[in-house]
Chain A
Amino acid sequence: MIEWGEQHLAIRDAFRRFVDAEIKPRREELEHGDTPPYEVLRKMFVTFGLRDMSLMRYEADLAKADKAADGSDEKVGKANPMAGEMAAMQMIPIIELSRHSPGMVTALGVSAGLTAGTIMSRGTRAQKERWAKDLLTLDTIGAWAITEPGSGSDAFGQMKASARRVEGGYVLNGNKTFITNGPWADTIVFICKLDEGNDPKDRKVLSFVLEKGMKGLDQTKPFRKMGMHSSPTGELFLSDVFVEKDRLLGETEEVSYRTGAKDTFKSERTGVVAMALGIVQQCLDLSVEYAKTRVQFGRPIGDFQLIQLKLAKMEVARMNIQNLVFRIIELAGAGKAMTLAEASACKLYCAQTATEVALEAVQLFGGNGYTAEYPVEQLARDAKVLQIYGGTDEIQISQIARSLLG
């Protein structure tokens, strides 16, 4: 893939129209009010047939899992142009939404991507039917909880959240923090360690599915944070939450959450690439327009070489990230996936670049760029978190280095 095709551009234009009609007029309440993003996202899903597509993919994934179980699955690793198109159809909306509201993408990605994806890849058929289907259509909102006050980058090492076996099921305890959609989630994937009285570092990591309103589960109000205001982030407190065994993902203690966690990381990391492209593209477009129209010293500031350098660097960034997006689409079509190290490299570059570009856009806008009246201010605050969540820059670097050094 070397450029967007006509159909991709048609999809892009359709999303632009939707953003203009549904998101821009609500920017104030979504970014600075208490309105959660879910109704707009649901409307988007219905309008573009994404809801129907999710249901179709859900059915196909169930069928595929059945085939894999009886060994008759042959498709794995084969080229499949349709999968490439599906990847493009997923990334274009992310790019367009991220131009205006990266927070909405975060909320959407965690719910329909991370939470539903975890249940689809680890759950039993009954669990998929019970929880994943409604998450995939956005009928319910999901959260995925691993981070704790004392364990972030070292998520498994310092994890305190626990499950204890009791008659008929388990009792869960622990505090989770920075949980996207936490305040509103209907369905929560809770990751914890099985306490068998053994050394914490040897404990098995398990995951359970919780639901809003369960006894002993507390979902806090959203935090005030630097950016991503349209993505509610909160804490979860569990005290002696009793769950039956059918809430243990996979209904077995034998598959540790640690195995297969890489796939989750990879899809999170490639999602950041599309978000970064949206942010960079928007900053570039706004900056070019401003450079042409803002006059100082009797000339448009675009006449000054120092401003030209900023624009040129933004354009280089846009090209690089767009090429990564094309690569992800090509890989999907070829039935291949990035290695974890490559996904880490992509995420590292895109997160850093989006933050740099957005801050340079603020700089180019001068005093205006520092005010909330101009959208580059929001994009700069939003971009920063790309360097923190989904694995910090430092953690990506260590993963790249580990793969280089062996």
Chain B
Amino acid sequence: MKILVALKRVADPANHNKVKIPAAGDKIDTAGLEWQINPFDLYALETALRLTEDGKAPKTRLGEVVAVTLGPAETETNLRSALATGADRAIRVDTTDDALDGRLVAAALQKLVEEEKPDLVLMGKQVVDGENNYVGQALAELLDWPMATFAATIKEEAGGLLVGREVDGGVSTLRVKFPAVVTVDLRIVAPDSVRSSKTAEGFKYPYEEVRFAPLPAIMQAKKKPLAVKKLADLVGGATLSSKYVKFEAPPARKAGVKVKDVQELVQKLATEAKAI
């Protein structure tokens, strides 16, 4: 199986208190932020690796995983980290975040898919910075491929996948035929969420997160192929169809009030907070 995994770098969510918005409010000041791959995209990478191995002997690859990102040269660090984790090849589309919107990303991925011809495109259900939940669905539409979103379990079958999606009150299972687009949710990295055609009955991964890259793999990631493409070569002169116009930080929390007894608390909850 050949899988294309789309990755986006985001500011480290643990650093969110370092995010600054200039007075004009027209952008986010990214100076000094640390970057990492969007967590849901890392789950997609882990899913792709599990689908191309039997679990017991992860060094034996049973397919190909191509990691793709759209971004400036610095994002090659993130791609190399994906290569160290186990991806076989990587492609960077040279551009910057402010030159992109979801539609352009989907259009660029569409062209890459047409070139690479994967059986499956995997990505996170959304990025934790923009939280748009957009690109997967848009890509499936552009390709006219079957799609499953918010995947919590995936089982490979002949010619397709059985995808479990957690929905309010239960699990809905759907069958998609290859080629397909699947976006993953967090539970996809549970020990037995993903089963390739070769995963042994009853096998469970000993971890429920994205695997660690062994040190030799980190050292050798530089030797794996990493191709760079120009955005314009993929999407021609296409321009942004949506634009961020304003950013606002959440209002600073107001200091609390002290109440002298339970009666006053109940009274304030009823009259001021209107919580009871």
- Interface contact B218-A14, CB-CB below 8 Å: yes
Which residues of chain A have C-beta atoms less than 8 A from B222's C-beta? 7
Indicate whether B138 reaches chain A with its CB closer than 8 angstroms: no
Task: Give complex CA distance A52, B214 in Å.
Answer: 10
- Interface contact B214-A7, CB-CB below 8 Å: no
- Interface contact B216-A49, CB-CB below 8 Å: yes
Task: Give complex CA distance A67, B137 in Å.
Answer: 62
Given A7-B221, A7-B222: A50 touches B80 (CB 8 Å cut-off): no
Instruction: List, sorted by A's number, 13 A–B pairs whose CB atoms are closer than 8 Å.
Output: A6-B80, A7-B218, A7-B219, A7-B222, A10-B80, A10-B81, A10-B221, A14-B213, A47-B214, A52-B214, A52-B216, A53-B216, A89-B219
Residues 190-206 of B at the A interface (beta carbon under 8 Å):
none
Which residues of chain A have C-beta atoms less than 8 A from B217's C-beta? 49
- Interface contact B218-A10, CB-CB below 8 Å: yes
Chain B residues with a Cβ closer than 8 Å to the other chain, count: 15
Given A7-B219, A7-B222, A49-B217: A18 touches B80 (CB 8 Å cut-off): no
- Interface contact A49-B215, CB-CB below 8 Å: yes
Which residues of chain A have C-beta atoms less than 8 A from B214's C-beta? 47-49, 52
Which residues of chain B have C-beta atoms less than 8 A from A18's C-beta? 212
Q: Determine which of B77, B80, B81, B209 lies in contact with A21 in the assembled complex, contact meaning CB atoms within 8 Å.
A: B209
Q: CB within 8 Å of B: which residues of A?
A: 6-7, 10-11, 13-14, 17-18, 21, 47-50, 52-53, 85, 89
Task: Give complex CA distance A89, B214 in Å.
Answer: 11
Closest-CB distance, B193 to chain A (whole angstroms): 19
Indicate whether B181 reaches chain A with its CB closer than 8 angstroms: no
- Interface contact A11-B77, CB-CB below 8 Å: no
Given A7-B221, A10-B218, A11-B218: A48 touches B212 (CB 8 Å cut-off): yes
Closest-CB distance, A162 to chain B (whole angstroms): 43
Which residues of chain A have C-beta atoms less than 8 A from B77's C-beta? 6, 10
- Interface contact A10-B212, CB-CB below 8 Å: no
Closest-CB distance, A293 to chain B (whole angstroms): 11
Which residues of chain A have C-beta atoms less than 8 A from B213's C-beta? 10, 14
Which residues of chain A have C-beta atoms less than 8 A from B80's C-beta? 6, 10
Which residues of chain B have C-beta atoms less than 8 A from A48's C-beta? 212, 214-215
Closest to A21 in B: B209
Indicate whether B84 reaches chain A with its CB closer than 8 angstroms: yes
Which residues of chain A have C-beta atoms less than 8 A from B219's C-beta? 7, 85, 89
- Interface contact A10-B216, CB-CB below 8 Å: no
- Interface contact B215-A89, CB-CB below 8 Å: yes
Task: Give complex CA distance A18, B209 in Å.
Answer: 11
Task: Give complex CA distance A85, B222 in Å.
Answer: 14
Task: Give complex CA distance A131, B84 in Å.
Answer: 33
Closest to B209 in A: A21
